[in-house]
């Protein structure tokens, strides 16, 4: 949509930026809150389209912002699920009309401007001509641009859902269009036959409120009341006004004015054909059958009794009183002094107010000083308030002081629960239990392993260890509560240790336990005939031999449940730790003295060993004392003779640095 405006700007305004001016729409039907009610059996014609709008409408078309330019809105309900098909036919066939459909079930219609989730289908093609949704469409989303198909595929409607259709007129011709439905399988026509529901007379007998069983067209109501007749000759109907007809297209409540007050008695209201040639029509133009009647009783003026209290929920702090008749809002003491509450525990009233329309209400909300959190039976008692009266109905009759209405409350509940853990070596078992207090009769457990349960107590076996989550929702039918609990199953033990890697003659070997888990006992075997059961054992000594020996070590750790784990390792016991370089070597590959390298450098770090020939050329270097020179350079055996070496290192025990130099004879 806006993309098309931008192209036009390039030609007409010499690359000026596009600026949108929003004009408030004031005509009924041009805002979501005043949408036309439609059904599937009629066509709807707009002779002209007032210019206004340009509010941005969110949706899946993100390349350019789209707006409700010169809009009209249409609302309907899906009564049978299926597909929706409709046509928008411009009066001037070259005009460009766009549309977008929204699901506004349980939503404020104005959310269409802010909530992208309401989107159902759209077509914002830049081409003029007939548009809509039909079997010819191949996509629910058609975004802005020339050459975009003018028909979208038919959206699927959900039974019981409410929808609103935006028809946006991109052309500024103000020429209108027709909207028609048909071809889909969804039913958007209300199957309920229109009719009268009930009638109630005002207390002075001069007005009658007629309730209809569904909303009817406001324009089908004759303003002189000729759509109705009264069974008695004591008065005639002089006028009829539909509720909210000044701000909408349909109504389900009509107020009839009478020529004279009706005395108390029984009467009837009859549907007639009005002076406009019809009686009341629903939104599909079906009329209430002529001659249909409903009874009307005019009651003598009398006080309105205390009627009932809406069912109290959990821990109520507001009580909603419901009355049979409309009560005067001006007679309600705002400080709540018209009421007192008796019962245990005691509570006071802090304020009261009505849900007022034109100064009348059938509901009075009484606010308490604190929520009632304990189970009990209470009474709400009426008394004269600080305004000098009790409650007055619309006829001015006072409800008697001392009138009461009873109500009951339930205990609040707690979902806090207890756990008992039985640890095991391969799996842990956790028992979960709830106290059942305060009448709890419904439980819902949820665990992070996907298990759910509806019993008061349950047992879960965990085959894995670590952090576990549990949630419980409880209810006593009135009050509910949720509690969450986290437990760390950490009874698995893992044995691990660190030891001296190489032991020189006369040196001690040390051992450090690195085991994890709730270890309670240790069992060390050092391979030298000694054992220990402490976490930090004493240093161990190993007798030197003539050869290097690898001694097997073992650590067994155990937890309080008797679960154990074992770690093994080795320690190297060497016969000599004196660092030296041989005076000669014979690289003839006979397995004896074939290599040149520092020997026994177990206590050296930062070692650097180099070998040079008599010309000072570096032949070999290493920082690993076990890496040995085989008497060759670049793959070529070197000649017999004397070779110079330099050895640098730091003693690991003393930290002292050494630099040794010497020579070795290569013998072949």
What is the pLDDT averaged over residues 291-311?
Answer: 92
Reported confidence tier of residue 541, pLDDT bands at 50, 70, 90: very high
Least confident piece of the model among 37-46, 73-82, 130-139 = 37-46
Q: H or E stretch including 197?
A: strand 196-201
Instruction: Tell me how far apart the alpha carbons of residues 472 and 461 are, in angstroms, rounded to a whole number.
Output: 17
Residue that terminates a domain, selected from 273, 298, 323: 298
pLDDT at residue 18 greater than cutoff 60? no
What is the pLDDT averaged over residues 435-462?
Answer: 94
On whether both 10 and 126 belong to a single domain, the answer is: yes
Confidence (pLDDT) at 21 = 54
Summarize pLDDT for 450-493 with one digit per residue, the tens: 899 999 999 999 988 889 999 999 999 999 999 999 999 888 88
Closest CA to 374 of 477, 482, 479, 474: 479
Instruction: Tell me how far apart the alpha carbons of residues 466 and 178 are, in angstroms, rounded to a whole number.
Output: 67
Confidence (pLDDT) at 357 = 84
Summarize pLDDT for 90-102 with one digit per residue, the tens: 999 999 999 999 9
Reported confidence tier of residue 63, pLDDT bands at 50, 70, 90: confident
Q: What percent of the chain has pLDDT over 70?
A: 97
Instruction: Tell me how far apart the alpha carbons of residues 121 and 99 are, in angstroms, rounded to a whole number.
Output: 9
Q: Is residue 611 in some structural domain? A: yes
Other beta carbons less than 10 A from residue 365's beta carbon: 17
* CATH value at residue 507: 2.60.40.10
Least confident piece of the model among 62-66, 122-126, 187-191, 468-472 = 62-66
| Token digits of residue 181 | 């439905």
Summarize pLDDT for 618-665 with one digit per residue, the tens: 999 999 999 999 999 999 999 999 999 999 999 998 999 999 999 999
Q: Is residue 327 in some structural domain? A: yes
Q: Is residue 579 in some structural domain? A: no
Query: Quick one: how far is CA 97 from the chain centroid?
Result: 36
What rounded mean pLDDT belongs to the chain? 92
On whether both 373 and 323 belong to a single domain, the answer is: yes
pLDDT at residue 332 greater than cutoff 90? yes
Structural domains counted in the chain: 6
Q: Is residue 191 in some structural domain? A: no
529: CB partners within 8 A, 6+ apart: none
On whether both 314 and 397 belong to a single domain, the answer is: yes
What is the pLDDT averaged over residues 426-437?
Answer: 93
On whether both 402 and 450 belong to a single domain, the answer is: no
On whether both 160 and 52 belong to a single domain, the answer is: yes
Confidence (pLDDT) at 394 = 87
Q: What is the DSSP string of 365-431?
A: EEEESS---S-EEEEEEE---TTS---BBTT-PBPPTT-EEEEEE-------EEEEEE--SS-EEEE
Residue that terminates a domain, selected from 409, 434, 451: 409
Summarize pLDDT for 244-295 with one digit per residue, the tens: 898 899 999 999 999 999 999 999 999 999 999 999 999 999 999 999 999 9
pLDDT at residue 10 greater than cutoff 60? no
User: Are the C-beta atoms of residues 112 and 66 closer than 8 Å to each other?
Assistant: no
Residue that terminates a domain, selected from 539, 573, 607: 573
* CATH value at residue 166: 2.60.120.380
On whether both 266 and 137 belong to a single domain, the answer is: no
Q: Is residue 187 in some structural domain? A: no
Closest CA to 166 of 97, 96, 92: 97
10: CB partners within 8 A, 6+ apart: none
C-alpha torsion sign, points 262, 263, 269, 272: negative
* CATH value at residue 613: 2.60.40
Largest CA distance in the chain: 146
On whether both 395 and 438 belong to a single domain, the answer is: no
Q: Is residue 239 in some structural domain? A: yes
On whether both 593 and 619 belong to a single domain, the answer is: yes
On whether both 272 and 318 belong to a single domain, the answer is: no
* CATH value at residue 319: 2.60.40.1220
Q: Is residue 463 in some structural domain? A: yes
Name which residue leads in pLDDT, 425 or 664.
664
Q: Is residue 303 in some structural domain? A: no
Confidence (pLDDT) at 169 = 94
User: Are the C-beta atoms of residues 249 and 229 closer than 8 Å to each other?
Assistant: no
For residue 660, what are the domain limits?
584-666
On whether both 401 and 513 belong to a single domain, the answer is: no
| Token digits of residue 484 | 């969450």
On whether both 535 and 642 belong to a single domain, the answer is: no
User: How far is CA 579 from each of CA 500, 620, 649, rounded to the nearest angstrom?
Assistant: 19, 19, 10
Summarize pLDDT for 378-419 with one digit per residue, the tens: 999 999 999 999 999 988 899 999 999 999 999 999 999 999
On whether both 373 and 483 belong to a single domain, the answer is: no
């Amino acid at each position: 949509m806006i993309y098309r405006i931008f192209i036009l700007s390039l030609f007409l305004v010499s690359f000026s930026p596009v600026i949108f001016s929003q004009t408030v729409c004031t005509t009924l039907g041009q805002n979501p809150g005043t949408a036309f009610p439609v059904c599937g059996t009629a066509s709807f014609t707009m002779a002209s389209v007032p210019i206004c709008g340009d509010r941005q409408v969110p949706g899946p078309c993100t390349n350019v912002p789209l707006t409700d330019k010169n809009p009209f809105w249409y609302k309907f309900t899906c009564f049978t699920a299926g597909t929706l098909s409709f046509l928008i036919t411009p009066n001037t066939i070259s005009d460009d009309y766009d549309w977008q459909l929204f699901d506004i079930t349980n939503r404020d219609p104005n959310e269409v401007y802010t909530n992208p989730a309401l989107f159902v289908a759209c077509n914002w093609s830049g081409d003029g001509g007939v548009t809509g949704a039909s079997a010819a469409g191949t996509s629910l989303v058609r975004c802005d641009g020339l050459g975009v198909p003018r028909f979208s595929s038919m959206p699927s409607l959900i039974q019981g859902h409410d929808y609103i259709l935006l028809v946006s007129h991109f052309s500024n011709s103000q020429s209108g269009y027709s909207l028609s439905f048909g071809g889909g399988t969804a039913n958007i026509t209300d199957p309920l036959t229109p009719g009268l529901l009930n009638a109630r007379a005002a207390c002075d007998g001069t007005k009658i409120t007629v309730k209809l069983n569904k909303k009817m067209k406001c324009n089908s109501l004759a303003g002189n009341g000729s759509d109705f007749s009264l069974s008695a000759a004591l008065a005639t109907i002089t006028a009829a006004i539909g509720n909210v007809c000044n701000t909408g297209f349909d109504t389900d409540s009509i107020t009839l004015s009478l020529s004279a007050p009706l005395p108390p008695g029984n009467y009837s209201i009859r549907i007639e054909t009005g002076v406009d040639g019809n009686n009341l029509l629903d939104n599909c133009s079906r009329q209430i059958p002529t001659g249909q009647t409903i009874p009307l009783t005019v009651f003598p003026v009398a006080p309105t009794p205390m009627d009932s209290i809406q069912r109290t929920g959990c821990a109520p702090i507001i009580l909603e009183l419901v009355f049979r008749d409309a009560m005067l809002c001006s007679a309600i003491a705002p400080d709540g002094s018209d009421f007192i509450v008796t019962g245990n525990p005691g509570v006071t009233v802090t304020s009261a107010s009505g849900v007022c329309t034109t100064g009348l209400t059938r509901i009075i909300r009484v606010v308490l000083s604190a929520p009632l959190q304990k189970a009990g039976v209470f009474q709400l008692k009426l008394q004269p308030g600080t305004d000098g009266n009790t409650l007055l109905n619309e006829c001015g009759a006072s409800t008697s002081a001392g009138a009461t209405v009873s109500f009951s409350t339930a205990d609040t509940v707690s979902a806090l629960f207890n756990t008992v853990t039985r640890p095991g070596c391969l799996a842990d078992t956790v028992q979960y239990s709830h106290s059942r207090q305060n009448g709890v009769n419904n439980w819902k457990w949820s665990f992070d392993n996907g298990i759910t349960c509806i019993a008061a107590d349950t047992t879960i076996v965990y085959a894995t260890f670590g952090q576990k989550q549990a949630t419980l929702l409880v209810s006593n039918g009135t009050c509910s509560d949720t509690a969450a609990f986290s437990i760390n199953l950490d009874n698995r033990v893992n044995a691990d240790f660190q030891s001296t890697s190489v032991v020189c003659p006369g040196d001690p070997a040390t051992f450090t336990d690195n085991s994890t888990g709730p270890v309670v006992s240790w069992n060390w075997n050092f391979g030298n005939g000694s054992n220990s059961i402490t976490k930090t054992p004493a240093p161990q000594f190993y007798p030197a031999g003539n050869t290097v020996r690898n001694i097997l070590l073992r650590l067994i750790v155990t937890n309080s449940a008797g679960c154990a784990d074992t770690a093994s390792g080795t320690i190297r016991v060497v016969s000599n730790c004196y660092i030296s370089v041989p005076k000669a070597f014979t690289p003839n590959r006979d397995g004896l003295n074939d290599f040149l390298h520092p020997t026994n450098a177990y206590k050296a770090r930062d070692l650097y060993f180099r070998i040079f020939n008599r010309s000072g050329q570096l032949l070999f270097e290493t920082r690993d004392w076990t890496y040995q020179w085989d008497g060759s350079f670049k793959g070529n055996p070197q000649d017999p003779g004397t070779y110079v070496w330099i050895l640098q290192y730091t003693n690991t025990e003393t930290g002292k640095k050494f630099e040794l130099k010497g020579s070795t004879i290569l013998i072949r």
